[in-house]
Amino acid sequence: MNRYPLWKYLLVAAVLLIGGLYALPNLFPEQPAVQVSREQGGTMSESLSGRVESILSGAGITLDGVSFEEGRLLARLESSSAQLKAADLLKRELGNDYIVALNLAPSTPGWLRALNARPMSLGLDLRGGVHFLLEVDMQEVFDKTYDRYAKDLPRLLRDETVRYSRAFREGDSVRLLFPNESSMDEALDLLRGEFTSELQFSSVPDEPLLIEATLREQEITRIQDLALEQNLTTLRNRVNELGVAEPLVQRQGADRIVVELPGVQDTAEAKRLLGKTATLEYRLVAKDQSAQDAARTGVAPAGTDLFYSRDGEPVLLVEDIIASGDQLVDASAGFDQQSGSPAVFVTLDGAAAKKMFDTTSRHVGDPMAVLFVENKIETRYEDGEEIREKRKIQEVISVATIRGVFGKRFQTTGLSSNEAHDLALLLRAGALKAPVEIVEERTVGPSLGADNIRQGRTAVIAGFLFVIVFMAIYYRVFGLFADVALLTNLVLIVAALSLLQATLTLPGIAGIVLTVGMAVDANVLIFERIREELDAGNSPQSAIAAGYDKAFTSIADANVTTLIAALVLFGFGTGPIKGFAVTLSIGIVTSMFTAIIGTRALANLVYGRQRRLQTLPV
């Protein structure tokens, strides 16, 4: 009656073994470390290890070890103060070719890492994380806006056959020069009717035939808000691509964004991808013009732009852009089937796909280039002062002959494997409306303070011990079964959070405490039912079976309804609410297993074979 088949015992044992194995890494504390990685994500030579050791030892900083892990160098240090000092020193000495970031290096043994067993991440309110303050380059936004109007205004005049002598950009304005007053008056009527809500037009003093177009105040505000909101959306997408749980990405003031990444492990990866504005432009090569002549004179022919390939060769590209990164629907990294080289597989939106199809239809046999565009902030030191400089990189990464007609889907080669991966991520997450500069980077300590966390941990342990003692005294041997189930439940919750790499926060701990209470409640229902069966005169074996069978429906109903509520919270909630919902959902599943199957396995193992059992210690 109360005997489990062998496979059920093996199942319980396997779950406990796996759970204990994947919960084990959480017993190994993390160590302060400084992480060094390549700016472009390339591989690093072994000589860098000796260089880092030499730099730090020369400054009197003691290392606990230097190692290469997953394409990055980790220098482990004894304390947080040594970590900060080492990071500042390496930033100065290694220069812009490397990204130096603070990190917490796991001390998990190698055999556990080989099983992909990693400790769970703790949120900013428990362990801390990384904090970035980003500043949006609004001037770049307005530069792009005025560059666009410098092309749109004369195009409209040409379409309407209105004569003008010259159109050019002058600072934060676009200026149009006309041959006579009648042409200027005709242009003013046309332009004011077309751009009445965006631009204001005025004459220039001492220049009677010159019109100046500037943005209206409400349009300036709208463009600023739009740029900031698009950057917020893009940064959230990039954080999601990084796999960070419960991030904080929010606006601060008119041109700044705060990004907090709780429990992040690869801070250099986050720093590198958040600030990048890399994109692609597809253009035709100006085959009838000499790129060598343009490079020699420094002047590109009308309608073309001069760029250089990664090998330093000049390339003349047609000014008109066929498609750009902000017109991509999807992008993924992979390998070209013919050459085996890294590639980015691109899917364009409808308008760009049509233009690409039309262009390739007309230019079969002509060369087309892929231009890689990236905005970077480089830091250098002069006389101890930190100086930040903006630099725009524009490189032709690929020139290929158009062999056939294509439109919506195609691939781009010419990148390294890491660059292809990063570019696909950036394109998929969306292009930043404007470049962002990391003006502040710091690790964030626990928001409640170390004392509050220590007191909270003490309170949890004390409460847990009280429940264990109460169950053991009140329900005797069966109470001990419940205590074992409670401990097992906690281990399984920690193992599940570690496997999912979920970030644990204070609301998440509340979810764990709630599930512990629900697990005790399930055992209380079972044990009270057993007592009722014994009082009714049933045999101990019948009472055990009836207690578990008849209490199961009530327990299942209570847990299923709570699980539904947790799923709703996860689906509609954000941030801490999702953290609470995740731990609550996991805890419900594990508590059902430990409170019902686990305790019954113990009861069957201890009492199942005692046929002459007269009483039960419950």
3-state secondary structure of 298: coil
Kindly report the CATH number that applies to the domain delimited by 6-24+449-607.
1.20.1640.10
Q: How far apart are CA 600 and CA 442, in angstroms?
A: 50
CB–CB of 516/493 below 8 Å? no
Tell me how far apart the alpha carbons of residues 476 and 445 are, in angstroms, rounded to a whole number.
Answer: 44
Mean pLDDT in runs of 10 for the chain (618 residues)?
Answer: 82 91 86 75 72 87 80 81 83 76 76 85 70 84 86 87 88 90 89 87 85 91 84 75 62 84 62 66 87 88 88 89 77 78 80 88 88 71 68 81 81 71 62 74 60 66 82 89 90 90 78 79 88 86 86 86 89 76 89 88 82 74
| pLDDT at site 243 | 45
Identify whether the C-beta of residue 505 lies closer than 8 Å to the C-beta of residue 125: yes
Tokens of 467: 């429940």
DSSP secondary structure of 198-240? TEEEEEETTEEEEEEEEE-HHHHHHHHHHHHHHHHHHHHHHHH
314 token code pair: 């000049």
What are the helix and strand counts (H, E) for the chain? 16, 23
- The model carries a pTM of 0.55
166-169 vs 174-177, strand pairing mode: antiparallel
**Residue 249: strand pairing partners:** 259
User: What phi, psi does 605 have (nearest 5°)?
Assistant: -65, -40
What does the alpha-carbon distance between residue 99 and residue 96 come to, in Å, rounded to a whole number?
7
Question: What is the reported pLDDT for 284?
Answer: 92
The answer to whether 585 and 568 are in contact (CB under 8 A) is no
CATH 3.30.1240: which residues of the chain? 139-217
Yes or no: say if 516 and 504 are a contact pair by the CB < 8 Å rule.
no
Q: Write down the pLDDT at residue 546.
A: 87
Contact 255, 134 (CB under 8 A): no
Look up residue 216 and give its two tokens. 């209206």
120 and 127 Cβ atoms separated by less than 8 Å = no
Contact predicate 381/387, CB 8 Å: yes
DSSP state of 594: I
Cα–Cα distance between 571 and 581 in angstroms, integer?
9
Q: Please give the structure tokens belonging to residue 397.
A: 């990464």
Q: How far apart are CA 581 and CA 497, in angstroms?
A: 12
Predicted local distance difference test score (pLDDT) of residue 245: 47
- Determine contact, residues 513/506, Cβ cutoff 8 Å: no
Parts of the chain belonging to CATH 3.30.70.260? 31-105
Cα 241 to its chain centre, rounded Å, is: 4
Q: What CATH class has 31-105?
A: alpha beta
Distance, CA of 22 to CA of 26 (rounded, Å): 8
Tokens of 255: 């041109």
Can you name the residues that pair with 450 across neighbouring β-strands?
none
What dotted CATH number matches 139-217? 3.30.1240
Nearest Cα neighbor of 515 from 548, 545, 555, 480 is 555
pLDDT at residue number 22: 92
What integer pLDDT is reported at residue 452 of this predicted model? 56
Give dist(CA 608, CA 596) in Å, integer: 16
How far is residue 11's CA from residue 355's CA, in Å, rounded to a whole number? 60
- Terminus-to-terminus CA distance in the chain, angstroms? 19
CATH, domain 276-431, list 3.30.1360.200, 3.90.1150.110, 3.40.630.10, 2.30.30.280: 3.30.1360.200
Q: What pLDDT is attached to residue 317?
A: 92
Q: What's the confidence (pLDDT) of residue 307?
A: 92
Cβ atoms within 10 Å, residue 480: 17
* DSSP string for residues in 555-574: HHHHHHHHHHHHHHHHHH--
Return all residues near 603 (Cβ < 8 A) that are at least 6 apart.
2, 478, 481, 544
Give the separation between CA 61 and CA 84, rounded to whole angstroms: 11
- Residues 47 and 36: their CA atoms lie apart, in Å, by 13
- Residue intervals of the chain classified under CATH 3.30.1360.200 are 276-431
What pLDDT was estimated at residue 456?
61
Q: How far apart are CA 85 and CA 80, in angstroms?
A: 9
